Structure 1
Amino acid sequence: MSVTTDSIRARRGLPSGGPKPPPAAKGRTAAQLKERLMAGGFLLPAALLVTAVLLAPFCYTLYRSFFSDYTHSTFNGFANYRAFFTDPNLLKSLENTLMWVVGAIVLPTGMGLLIAMLTDATRWSRAARLAVTIPYAISGSAVAVVWNFMLTSDGAVNGALRGLHLGGLTGTWLLSWPGNTIVMIIASSWQATGVAVILFMVGLQGIAPDTLEAAALDGAGPWARFRHIVLPQLRPVSIIVIGMSLVNGLKAFDLIFVLTQGGPGRATETLAVSMYQETFLFLRPGAGAAIAVLLTVIVLLASWTYLRRQVPTQGKV
């Protein structure tokens, strides 16, 4: 008959079972549990708010995208998603969205970096930065009203061209594609450049002047200093600027809707404008929900892919 370990320990006057944790370890465990409960309590309101404001509407939108657009909706599977890839208007909006993404990344990032470099440590730098950043404080609808005054057939742009005896260059800026999409991208970039300038100025102020002076003493020219010293150290800021521009390009809506309402016809629609048109103007909530889901997936995938490629190398020269 086998003798258990506990019986042997009992004969020798030893306590049964394994070694007990010291009181200090128990105290640390209780303190850690208390800290976690407190942290969870503080995070709970934010988690409930995100669930109520973001997750619950998205789940309902996803659910609604699988139903028809009639008064008494019926389940129709992926029909709304298949229509997205066969409707020429929606394919056109996808093309316009890609144009907006490219323009929203290239123009604000390039102009913001250029203006930040030109106005860094100059006498009129504060005034120049203020003039560039003021449009960022204006709402998108107000920006659209300003540019509508400039771009109409009898607007400021055509008036200035006629005043300079360049009447041959006048045009109907908002009536022909792709010129209307391009001028709207320029208008959006005029507003978005301000925040890029601010962020790049912060990055430039973090570069040690001694590094640039040492490179100059070693014979490095302005372009070499910019390429090998300034640009690598601006990489963390560039990640933020490009990421913001990417998302702004994908969800462009207010400026387009005020200037052209997606027209003429549906030539200047983006996915965000098409989502609104399908849901509220054409009364096709199922199709609008499908576009909303696809747009959300595109934004998340694009942001995740970009950040996944950039963030691990952040800070490396």
Structure 2
Amino acid sequence: MRSPVLGRFRHGYVAPAAVLVAVLLYAPFVWTAYLSLTRYDGLEPPSWVGLDNFGKLFADPALLTSVRNTLIWVLGTMVLPVGLGLLVAVLSYDLKGGAWYRVPFMLPYALSGAGLAMVWSPVLSHDGIANLLLGVDTAFLQEAPQNTVAMLLVWTWQQLGVNTLLFVVGLQSIPKEPIEAARLDGAAGWRLFRHVIWPLLRPLTAVVVGLALVASLKTFDIVWVLTQGGPGRNSETLAVTMYKETFVASQYGYGSAVAVLLTVVTGLASYLYLRRQVR
């Protein structure tokens, strides 16, 4: 039986959390959306310009570069950190001492994106360790799109461990009975994974891919520390473009327009992905 006291004050229980979300998430977004319709340099009061910032944004050739690089990040994240994380989890799950084999993959996740980029900067520079070990003369961070691919590999090195851990948790949650029954029927190796393990992992895979999708769309720290979006603007992502226009060029109105575009793209991609998973 429902308590009348609990029913009467049920909205009060969630009010603090709702206010916190409104103050920290919704209010800043509304303010950013307003600034995107103004010309604002951070000093003078904002002046209304309507959709001029968005017109300027869509006419900027650098936007296509940012969108291209962001798409490379999204697709690469789906294939590399997620795919390799699943592979490492499956291969090490049944091994004796498999947890120890996963430790080297987990350690890079303890580093921040900026710290990770600082570690790899001397490796990928033109006169760096990578060229010395490979015996080549390649400007890994100077030419597009190979600079984005190189940074994506660094991102993979960091994210591989946490994806592996999530998939291991998923494997541990799978009931043993279906797997044992499949083995009695002669399933093993790829057939066992393809027809039994993979279908049972699909709910967790949807979560891992969703998290990776949102994270790749917001990629900033690794790109900023390694290339700052350069040379020129050929390695910028939407997040880097937003930062440069807002905090480097002090074009807060234009930078807010980029932020609104990034928010819309992230929200739309997440909605379409989750809707597909629900279906």
Q: The TM-score by the shorter chain falls in which range?
A: over 0.9
Using the aligned pairs only, state the percent identity: 45
Amino acid at match of 1:291: V
In structure 1, what is the Cα distance between the partners aligned to 2:154 and 2:10? 44
In the TM superposition, what whole-angstrom CA distance separates every residue of 1:173-230 from its partner, at most 9, and x where no partner exists? 1111110000101111111111110111011112233422322232324221111100
In structure 1, what is the Cα distance between the partners aligned to 2:60 and 2:7? 51
| Greater alpha carbon shift after TM alignment, 274-283 vs 66-75 | 66-75
> Which position in structure 2 is the counterpart of 1:226?
193
In the TM superposition, what whole-angstrom CA distance separates every residue of 1:56-79 from its partner, at most 9, and x where no partner exists? 111111011111246454211111
In structure 2, what is the Cα distance between the partners aligned to 1:199 and 1:151? 29
In structure 2, what is the Cα distance between the partners aligned to 1:137 and 1:206? 25
Q: Which runs of 4+ in 1 moved over 6 A?
A: none
Matched, 1:46 2:42: no
Contact 1:263 1:269 in 2 (8 A): yes
> Which position in structure 2 is the counterpart of 1:211?
178
SS at match of 2:59: coil
Structure 2 unmatched runs, 5+: none
> Could you tell me which of 31, 34, 48 is aligned with 1:63?
34
In structure 1, what is the Cα distance between the partners aligned to 2:25 and 2:267? 14
CA spacing shift, 1:124–1:157, aligned 2, 3 Å: farther
Contact 2:86 2:167 in 1 (8 A): yes
> Which position in structure 2 is the counterpart of 1:8?
none
* Alpha-carbon distance, 1:306 to partner: 0.8
SS at match of 2:196: helix
In structure 2, what is the Cα distance between the partners aligned to 1:82 and 1:95? 19
Matched, 1:287 2:257: no
In structure 1, what is the Cα distance between the partners aligned to 2:230 and 2:8? 54
In structure 2, what is the Cα distance between the partners aligned to 1:181 and 1:45? 42
SS at match of 1:48: helix
> Could you tell me which of 122, 131, 152 is aligned with 1:158?
131
> Which position in structure 2 is the counterpart of 1:198?
165
In structure 1, what is the Cα distance between the partners aligned to 2:217 and 2:15? 31
Alignment map for 1:271-282 (pairs within 5 Å): 271-282=238-249
In structure 2, what is the Cα distance between the partners aligned to 1:126 and 1:228? 25
Amino acid at match of 2:199: P
Contact 2:81 2:163 in 1 (8 A): yes
Structure 1 unmatched runs, 5+: 1-27, 162-166
Contact 1:104 1:249 in 2 (8 A): yes
State TM-score, norm by structure 1.
0.83
Matched, 1:110 2:77: no
Contact 1:105 1:249 in 2 (8 A): no
> Could you tell me which of 40, 47, 58 is aligned with 1:74?
47
Contact 1:108 1:189 in 2 (8 A): yes
* Alpha-carbon distance, 1:263 to partner: 0.4
Report the structure number with the largest CA radius of gyration.
Answer: 1
Matched, 1:93 2:66: yes
Higher relative contact order (CA 8 A, sep 6+): 2
SS at match of 2:19: helix
